Chains A and B, each alone.
Chain A
Amino acid sequence: MENKGLTKVDLIFEKIDSKEVMVKAFKMSSAEIIQSMLDSGLKGRGGAGFPTGLKWKYTAAEKSPEKYIVCNADEGEPGTFKDREILDRASNKVHGGMAIAGKAIGAKKGFVYLRGEYRYLLPKLMIELASFHKMIHEIGFDFSIEYRMGSGAYICGEESALFESIEGKRGEPRNKPPYPTTSGVFEKPTSINNVETLVTAMMIIHHGAQNFIQYGTKDSRGSKVFSVSGDTPTPGIFELELGMTVLQFVNEFGDGDTKAVQVGGASGFCVPRKKFAETIIGFEGVPTGGSMKLFNSSRSMYNVLHNYLDFFTEESCGQCTPCRVGCQQLLKGVEKVKKGEAKSTYLTELVKLADTMKIAAKCGLGQSVGNAFKSIVGNFKEEIIY
């Protein structure tokens, strides 16, 4: 397994002349932009890791007079706060990345769907947006961006629920297919990308795909902004090259007593100490949208699990049976086991339920509840039972 070690990088927050990069991009053809994304191996930075070049390619291939770029800034995964930092410090690159994506897929309009709790960023973002619009006008490229606010629902970070929300409807995931590249917001072909993805795309144009692939591994190219929290002396935002092991990460950020790291937030995986050395942070190991939460031995993993299940029980949209009822059953089930009101073997039934949710739920939320559940129950069974 490729292991790149822990290296700090400064790509996302690097100061650039965004006008220059945009001009460079607009001189390229749509196909050239898409090709450089494909060459870079960039995968979506929101967590799901869909290849950005492919997403743009599919959307570009759609014949529709109206297409949209949507920037997913509904950063809601517990323990992630990197998009907030990017929007605060590098929104010019977010807007620029959207324009470049617009050029790639043939969209003249973009939406930024901003997490409800980030409303306080809006005044500053509006100033940045005005100068972006002025700049894009000067360049002579037809593209504009509109901000839409979320209202605090985690599910609205799911792409199709996000579209519903932009359209003014209740934020509930849609049936797929059709996928957003064919029918997204307002039922038009849409490329929806995470904040960091768009910034990274812009930096790939700036530095070139060949420079980008110097970073990271075969399956996880480039660098990534991590939100580090939990039992760490140095919480915060760090841009790191992809491909390190959890052990290397813990050696840098741990407090010397780390027993587990939750990689990827509530919908991600819990890595126990015994697997630190063998687990790569990246798409070949444990993928993450950025959330890295460290737990030391003072923490009860039952409480950690309970907290996540409580979160999902609250934040499921409630539409589909496996997620709406399944979350409640998992939560109530572990409570009963903990209190001794259900046998410890009941955990086996709950694991089966988590497996069903993984294959039966309508969207990524319900499908990923089982990740945290199974990895915590699997690795810390004794803490759940006793």
Chain B
Amino acid sequence: MINLRINDQKVSVQEGTTVLAASKKLKINIPTLCNHDDLCVAGNCRVCLVEQKGARTLIASCATPAAEGMEIHTNTLKVRNARKHIVELLLSEHRSDCTKCYKNQNCELQSLANDFAFGDHVFLDLVEDKKYNIDRSSPSFIKDDSKCIRCQRCVRTCSELQYVSAISVANKGAHQKISSFHDRPMSQVVCTNCGQCVNRCPTGALVEKTYIDQVWDAIYDPEKHVVVQTAPAVRVALGEDLGYDPGERVTGKMVNALRQLGFNSVLDTDFSADLTIMEEGTELLVRLKKALVDGDKSISLPMFTSCSPGWIKFIEHKYPEFLPNLSTCKSPQQMFGALAKTFYAKKRNIDPSKIVSVSVMPCTAKKFEADRPEMRSSGFKDVDFVLTTRELAVMIKQAGIDFRNVEEAGYDTIMGDSTGAAVIFGATGGVMEAALRTAYEIVTGREVPFGNLNITPVRGMDGVKEATIKIEGCVNAWKFLEGVELKVAIAHGLVNANKIMKMTREGKAPYHFVEIMACPGGCIGGGGQPIPTNMEIRKKRMKAIYSEDEHKLLRKSHENPDVIAIYKEFLDQPNSHKSHELLHTHYVERDNF
């Protein structure tokens, strides 16, 4: 243990603990900016400077390990003056059009300004002299360099968590900026639109592209029938933007609030998540049969899940030779979209051209996905507008809804029913667990051999998880799988996805089925989720997701009555011709820069 004193209080910490963490232990608050729990130390904003007795300079508390006998003071005159200067310097290169800014009231720089740099500023405005680029090329987010304060959280996120490095630091000195390859528009580089950078940007330099106004316009258009679907992970995080602590389930309140906003029908992506299990599970079993029984060499294994649009774009850019390994299933959002303007329209007897299909997603990449040209199999744009969890919270606030006192309500019928298997799609390992619950039962006629259906080996926050399930006692139709050890793997965060892909490229991935989610923790940690998102919060949301599952009466996708009904009335059977037309897709190779 290391013993030191901070503001004259003794504290003992493990070796390697930073001065910042040691201060936290004493409940001494030191302001930070470039620091983020998910990322490596940068030490570049200098907001967290403190005074160390005997040191020539102030030290960055986030970047300095505690040392034996250190004497630290966090609020000396020297520290205060330097900190005020630093915050003012940051403000002098930041376009402070706060009242117009999407991040107003939710901006870390603004709150530092409130605390340390109120009143007149000493320094000159540097923004007016410079030409800044505002990149609106991506359908998912906007990159506004005039608000960037070069903390490099986005750069670290993109390289450390996502292994993408679509953005990095360019130039030096006054010209230093966060840039893409050859300054190309963000829509023309390797960016996966995952939005993890958006989630970590402390200012308004990276924000999602919002479609709130378009959705309001549709709601108020009497000609339009507006349907909304809500992704599994939204219900366990939305509360955070509306005054609840992380980990609170607000499903029923959210449904009621959506109805109050004026959506004509409030439906659930969980329905199409169950449908995904039917389609993807069948696809896997067919691939296994072709590979194991028929000896078909053209079958690509392992099969990768295809629910996460950030992951899809990643593999399209970085490992295009493995596109045949991707499940051809569309994501639940897009399955829902295709059915909303076909099956749903027919059932409700509504002209599909009058339907506006809106989704609420924990994700910014979903905005890009909805815009893909492949996603028009209904004959229309299958999903018209994608809102993030954060945007929905804004709409609820705009409508003046007292969320805390909204009564709980249930989803509408037709594509509103779901099972616990679908809701866990929102956490890493969830798709795998849901698929196993159904596939195992189809093949053996029995439930998965795990207590209370909880397949714990595929759960948790490990970056790469592996599991093996021995298939025994198969029903006649699946006898060929008797004794097969089904090997599965799960990765979340693209840096972990890359590990699996590297193994696959080297021929060292012995798996049959792999679930990959672009974001750390899966969708619960998505780029469109409330800010902040960090490990502690992800764990709380994950707990809430599994609790939502436990509280469901039905917990296996193939038992979803709406799913059973749609096959009977419309799709015939999983992987049918009709399914392929509406629910499956293909992928494109993209440049790796």
Contacts and interface: CB of A to CB of B under 8 A. Distances in A.
Given A312-B173, A360-B57, 13 more contacts: A175-B41, A177-B64, A313-B173, A314-B173, A316-B173, A320-B43, A324-B176, A326-B89, A327-B173, A329-B89, A336-B124, A359-B58, A362-B44
The CB with the most chain B CB atoms within 10 A, among A175, A332, A353, A360, is that of A360
Q: Which 4 A-B pairs have the closest CB atoms?
A: A318-B176, A325-B89, A175-B63, A316-B173
The CB with the most chain A CB atoms within 10 A, among B81, B124, B126, is that of B124
B90 A321 contact: yes
The CB with the most chain B CB atoms within 10 A, among A316, A324, A332, A352, is that of A324
Contacts of B173: 312-318, 324, 327
Nearest to B130: A328
Interface in A325-361: 325-329, 332-333, 336, 349, 352-353, 356, 358-361
B46 interface: yes
A102 interface: no
B176 A325 contact: no
B293 interface: no
Nearest to A341: B124
Nearest to A153: B172
Contacts of B104: none
B86 A356 contact: yes
Given A321-B86, A336-B124, A362 B46 contact: yes
Nearest to B58: A359
A367 B122 contact: no
Given A333-B124, A358-B57, A155 B172 contact: yes
A38 B176 CA distance: 41
Contacts of A336: 124
A299 interface: no
Interface in B11-65: 41, 43-47, 49, 56-58, 60, 63-65
A322 interface: yes
A177 B63 CA distance: 8
B54 to A, nearest CB: 13
B322 to A, nearest CB: 28
25 contacts: A170-B168, A175-B41, A175-B43, A313-B173, A314-B174, A316-B172, A316-B176, A318-B174, A318-B175, A319-B44, A319-B150, A319-B176, A321-B44, A321-B149, A321-B150, A322-B46, A322-B89, A325-B90, A327-B174, A329-B124, A329-B126, A352-B85, A356-B86, A360-B58, A360-B86
A362 B93 CA distance: 19
A349 B122 contact: yes
A55 to B, nearest CB: 17
B401 interface: no
Contacts of B82: 322, 356, 359-360
Contacts of A175: 41, 43, 60, 63-64
Interface in B543-575: none
Contacts of A333: 123-124
A324 B93 CA distance: 10
Interface of A, secondary structure class, is: helix
Nearest to B122: A349
Contacts of B90: 321, 325
Contact of B150 (A177, A315, A318, A332): A318
B78 interface: yes
B349 interface: no
Interface string A57-74: 000000000000000000
Contacts of B175: 314, 318
Contacts of A327: 173-174
Contact of A318 (B45, B58, B92, B172): B172
Contacts of A153: 172
Contacts of B44: 319-321, 362
A352 B81 contact: yes
Given A320-B45, A356-B82, A360-B85, A329 B123 contact: yes
The CB with the most chain B CB atoms within 10 A, among A153, A320, A367, is that of A320
Contacts of A312: 173
Contacts of A359: 56-58, 78, 82
B169 interface: yes
Interface string B297-327: 0000000000000000000000000000000
Interface string B422-462: 00000000000000000000000000000000000000000
B114 interface: no
Contacts of B60: 175, 362
Interface string A79-115: 0000000000000000000000000000000000000
Nearest to B67: A177
Given A318-B173, A359-B58, A324 B126 contact: no
B533 to A, nearest CB: 25
B36 to A, nearest CB: 15
A44 B171 CA distance: 30
Contacts of A155: 172
Contacts of A321: 44-47, 86, 89-90, 149-150
Nearest to A353: B85
A361 B126 CA distance: 19
B176 A322 contact: no
B124 A356 contact: no
A325 B127 CA distance: 11
Nearest to A329: B123
Contacts of A317: 172-173, 176
Contacts of A320: 43-46
B483 to A, nearest CB: 48
Contacts of B172: 153, 155, 314-318
Contacts of B149: 321
A316 B44 CA distance: 13
A14 B452 CA distance: 85
A361 B172 CA distance: 15
A325 B126 contact: yes
A325 B46 CA distance: 12
Contact of A328 (B64, B126, B152, B171): B126
A322 B85 CA distance: 8
A93 B56 CA distance: 35
B104 to A, nearest CB: 22
Contacts of B57: 358-361, 367
Nearest to A326: B89
A51 to B, nearest CB: 16
Interface in A281-329: 312-322, 324-329
A360 B58 CA distance: 6
Nearest to A313: B174
The CB with the most chain B CB atoms within 10 A, among A319, A321, A322, A353, is that of A321
Contacts of B174: 313-314, 316, 318, 324, 327-328
Contacts of B85: 322, 326, 352-353, 356, 360
Contacts of B65: 177
Interface string B108-138: 0000000000000011101001000000000
A331 to B, nearest CB: 8
A356 B89 CA distance: 11
A327 B90 CA distance: 13
Nearest to A367: B57
B46 A332 contact: no
The CB with the most chain A CB atoms within 10 A, among B41, B64, B81, B85, is that of B85
Contacts of B47: 321
B81 A356 contact: yes
Contacts of B43: 175, 320, 362
A155 B172 CA distance: 9
A76 to B, nearest CB: 13
B64 A324 contact: no
A167 to B, nearest CB: 15
Contacts of A328: 93, 126, 174
A153 B173 CA distance: 10
Contacts of B93: 324-325, 328
A322 B57 CA distance: 13
Nearest to B125: A332
Interface string A135-168: 0000000000000000001010000000000000
